[in-house]
């Protein structure tokens, strides 16, 4: 089977600085990869590469067997939260619809019924039908985030890239979103790359972790990567990783990365 | 003469056609101007259109006013379109150019020794001076702007209302920003000749701002903005004929009243939604 993502020897540079180099990573369809690391370690930049917005400085990158392409329908994207002005003339259904055909030029007359159906379905998937006619700018952060996920899923992508999608959601909503993503990858084989500061909410569904620190990285299952030994190596200081019930607590890297609270 | 008699006059009919075309363009572009937070750059563009028109009047005479305004508006709109999204930087650059343009325009006007109505018109509008040739030019330009706008509307809306996501989805955000600047520059240049530099805002901003108060649907917002702009322009022309005064104060006042009514309706709507949410969650 063609991997959803294939990175080999990938190197990324930004502003003259090498963020990471020599990254080899294959992501299979339906796989859930959590990307962790302190701010500035190049987590979001990885998504930028996969979206086809930033070329690699070295190495190769393939998404579903071909080089990443701007605006590919096969890639869904949930961006880091940005606020929408309250008076922006945009309803929930408009935001989701833009994810489907907002990048297309021309008159919007063809396939209106099909468009309406798909937008409805995407809203249903994230349990946001009641937000369809609400002005996006008047919604809470969590409500906007659900619409963002619907916007990413409406094109029926084979790969979903999510940048801190649980940020500002309460625990119940976090669980809903994680269940939704879990169902999505199980039923549709959508591979998910999930950038986060907080592994615990997604720990039960995470297949592998990519942990980036200062140009160094480790890839493996949560059990392989989230150990005192591995993280101490990465951070080049003493870091303790403790399992408390079904959660992982990292001590010693707090000034750069916080793993407390927020577990399901 | 009664208003009805006046309406049968050629120059009045020309004025009405010109007004209808202008209001259509302004109403369509308005919601995107508001969505992109470009009210101030519309004002700046209008002042530079004024300077361009005044310069052309001084050097080439009355026939060149339209072209001068067009060149001034499109050049400066391109410049504004190329400015980044950082609000503070943008505002100060616009402020600098706007005041410079206004100064230049005043200089050109004081050097001009012809009819004073020609001078005054660029600032406050001279719609009754529109002749058949102007109407044809205006309509032709209007049709071009409409076609381009129809083709790019959806990605333009995406890039304007949800820029980060649009960029991630491969929308050429920068190219669209420059293209929109040109459409806007052309519309402003036409508006300056009809309602004058000082009142272009009341057609490009007020109807769209009013529409944004009462609906969150981008399509309905465009439709309402066009309707509001048409009501203001047609109402303004008819009322000014009746009163024998310039049209600008009438257009501005009608647009303002529409805005006030929409604001009141919008406040009511927000309160009702808040009550509903409180009932649903409490």
pLDDT in tens, B68-127: 888 888 888 888 877 766 778 888 888 888 899 889 888 888 888 776 666 667 776 666
Q: Taking a C-beta distance cutoff of 8 angstroms, is the pair A168, A148 a contact?
A: no
Q: Are residues A27 and A136 in the same domain?
A: no
The fraction of chain A above a pLDDT of 70, given in percent, is 95
Q: Are residues A110 and A131 in the same domain?
A: yes
Q: Are residues A162 and A69 in the same domain?
A: yes
CB < 8 Å to B171, chain A: 71, 102-103
Query: A15 in contact with B at a CB cutoff of 8 Å?
Result: no
Q: Are residues A164 and A119 in the same domain?
A: no
Q: Which residue of B has its CA nearest to A49?
A: B168
Establish if A237 belongs to a structural domain: no
pLDDT of B209 reads 94
By Cβ distance, the residue of A89, A102, A137 closest to B158 is A102
Could you tell me which of B251, B246, B221 has the C-alpha nearest to residue B235? B251
Structural domains of chain B, with CATH: 3-281 (1.10.3470.10)
Q: How confident is the model at residue A91 (pLDDT cuts 50, 70, 90)?
A: very high
Query: B39 in contact with A at a CB cutoff of 8 Å?
Result: no
d(CA A235, CA A213): 7
How, if at all, do strands A17-27 and A5-14 pair? Answer: antiparallel
Establish if A248 belongs to a structural domain: no
Establish if A260 belongs to a structural domain: no
Give A42-60 as a DSSP string: SHHHHHHHHTTSS--SEEE
Mean pLDDT, chain A, integer: 86
CB < 8 Å to B162, chain A: 84, 90, 95, 98, 102
Regarding predicted confidence, which is higher, B52 or B119? Answer: B52
What residues does A66 pair with on adjacent strands?
A63
Q: Which residue of A has its CA nearest to B166?
A: A103
Domain end call among A156, A184, A209: A156
Q: Taking a C-beta distance cutoff of 8 angstroms, is the pair B232, B127 a contact?
A: no
Q: Are residues A89 and A37 in the same domain?
A: no
| Unique residue bearing structure tokens 């009641």 | A130
Which residues, in sequence order, are CB contacts of A154 under 8 Å at separation 6+?
A96, A97, A99, A100, A118, A119, A121, A122
Query: A73 in contact with B at a CB cutoff of 8 Å?
Result: no
> For residue A260, is pLDDT > 50?
no
d(CA A49, CA A255): 28
Q: Are residues A54 and A173 in the same domain?
A: yes
Could you tell me which of A4, A34, A28, A31 has the C-alpha nearest to residue A194? A34
Q: Which residue of A has its CA nearest to B149?
A: A106
Asked whether the CA dihedral A217, A218, A219, A223 is positive or negative, the reply is negative
Average pLDDT over residues A89-96: 91
Q: Are residues A140 and A20 in the same domain?
A: no
Asked whether the CA dihedral A243, A244, A247, A248 is positive or negative, the reply is negative
Q: Taking a C-beta distance cutoff of 8 angstroms, is the pair A41, A213 a contact?
A: yes
Of A65-69, A206-210, B6-10, minimum mean pLDDT range: B6-10
Q: Do A77 and B169 touch (CB under 8 A)?
A: yes
Q: Are residues A60 and A93 in the same domain?
A: no
Query: A71 in contact with B at a CB cutoff of 8 Å?
Result: yes
Establish if A243 belongs to a structural domain: no
**CATH number of domain containing A65:** 3.40.50.300
Q: Are residues A173 and A220 in the same domain?
A: yes
Query: A101 in contact with B at a CB cutoff of 8 Å?
Result: yes
Q: Do B167 and A53 touch (CB under 8 A)?
A: yes
Q: Are residues A179 and A51 in the same domain?
A: yes
Establish if A232 belongs to a structural domain: no
Q: How confident is the model at residue A70 (pLDDT cuts 50, 70, 90)?
A: confident
Give B40-101 as a DSSP string: HHHHHHHHHHHHHHHHHHHHH-GGGHHHHHHHHHHHHHHHHHHS-S-HHHHHHHHHHHHHHH
* Residue B54 in tokens: 């005044």
CB < 8 Å to A98, chain B: 154, 157-158, 161-162, 165-166
How, if at all, do strands A5-14 and A58-63 pair? Answer: antiparallel
Q: Do A51 and B168 touch (CB under 8 A)?
A: yes
Asked whether the CA dihedral B249, B254, B258, B260 is positive or negative, the reply is positive
Q: Which of residues 151-190 of B touch A (CB under 8 A)?
A: 151-155, 157-158, 161-162, 164-171
Establish if A263 belongs to a structural domain: no
Average pLDDT over residues A18-43: 92
By Cβ distance, the residue of A70, A72, A90 closest to B161 is A90
Residue A150: domain span? 85-156
- Tell me the pTM: 0.84
What number is the ipTM of this complex? Answer: 0.81
Q: How many domains does chain A have?
A: 2
* Residue B41 in tokens: 């750059």
Determine the straight-line distance between the first and last CA of chain B, rounded to whole angstroms. 64
Which letter does DSSP use for residue A90 in this model?
Answer: -
Q: Are residues A175 and A152 in the same domain?
A: no
Q: Are residues A96 and A220 in the same domain?
A: no
Question: How many residues are recorded in chain B?
Answer: 282
């Amino acid at each position: 089977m063609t991997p959803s993502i294939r990175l080999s020897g990938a190197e990324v540079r930004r502003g003259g600085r090498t963020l990471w180099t020599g990254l080899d990573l294959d992501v299979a369809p339906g796989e859930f990869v959590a990307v962790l690391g302190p701010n500035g370690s190049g987590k979001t930049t990885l998504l930028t590469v996969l979206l086809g917005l930033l070329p690699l400085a070295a190495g190769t990158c393939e998404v579903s067997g071909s080089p990443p392409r701007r605006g590919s329908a096969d890639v869904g994207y949930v961006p880091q939260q940005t606020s929408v002005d309250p008076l922006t003339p945009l309803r929930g259904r408009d935001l989701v619809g833009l994810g489907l055909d907002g990048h297309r030029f021309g008159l919007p007359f063809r396939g209106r019924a099909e468009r309406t159906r798909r937008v409805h379905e995407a809203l249903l998937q994230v349990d946001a039908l009641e937000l369809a006619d609400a002005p996006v700018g008047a919604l809470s952060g969590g409500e906007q985030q659900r619409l963002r996920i619907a916007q990413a899923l409406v094109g029926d992508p084979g790969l979903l890239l999510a940048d801190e999608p649980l940020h500002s959601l309460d625990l119940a909503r976090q669980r809903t979103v994680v269940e939704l993503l879990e169902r999505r990858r199980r039923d549709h084989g959508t591979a998910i790359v999930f950038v986060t500061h907080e592994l615990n909410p997604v720990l039960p569904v995470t297949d592998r972790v990519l942990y980036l620190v200062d140009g160094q990285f480790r890839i493996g299952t949560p059990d392989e990567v989230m150990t005192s030994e591995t993280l101490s190596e990465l951070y080049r200081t003493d870091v303790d990783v403790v399992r408390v019930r079904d959660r992982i607590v990292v001590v010693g890297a707090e000034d750069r990365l916080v793993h407390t609270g927020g577990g399901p | 003469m009664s208003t009805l008699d006046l309406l049968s006059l050629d120059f009045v009919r020309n004025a009405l056609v010109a007004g209808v075309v202008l209001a259509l363009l302004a109403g369509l572009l308005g919601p995107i101007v508001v969505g992109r937070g470009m009210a101030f750059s519309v004002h700046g563009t209008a002042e530079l259109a004024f300077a361009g028109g005044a310069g052309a009047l001084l050097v080439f005479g009355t026939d060149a006013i339209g072209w001068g305004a067009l060149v001034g508006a499109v050049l400066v709109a391109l410049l504004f379109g190329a400015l980044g999204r950082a609000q503070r930087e943008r505002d100060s650059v616009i402020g600098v150019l706007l005041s410079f343009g206004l100064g230049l325009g005043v200089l050109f006007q004081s050097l001009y020794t012809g009819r004073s109505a020609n001078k005054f018109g660029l600032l406050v509008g001279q719609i009754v001076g529109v002749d058949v040739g102007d109407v044809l030019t205006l309509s032709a330009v209007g049709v071009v702007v409409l076609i381009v706008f129809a083709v790019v509307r959806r990605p333009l809306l995406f890039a304007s209302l949800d820029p980060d996501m649009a960029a991630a989805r491969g929308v050429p955000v920068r190219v669209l920003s420059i293209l929109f600047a040109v459409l806007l520059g052309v519309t402003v240049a036409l508006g300056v000749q009809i309602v004058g530099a000082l009142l272009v805002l009341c057609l490009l901003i007020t109807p769209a701002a009013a529409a944004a108060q009462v609906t969150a649907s981008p399509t309905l917002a465009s439709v309402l903005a066009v309707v509001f702009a048409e009501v203001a322009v047609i109402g303004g022309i008819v009322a000014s004929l009746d009163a024998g005064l310039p049209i600008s104060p009438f257009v501005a006042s009608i647009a303002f009243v529409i805005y006030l009514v929409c604001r009141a309706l919008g406040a009511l709507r927000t309160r009702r939604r808040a009550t509903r949410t409180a009932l649903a969650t409490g």
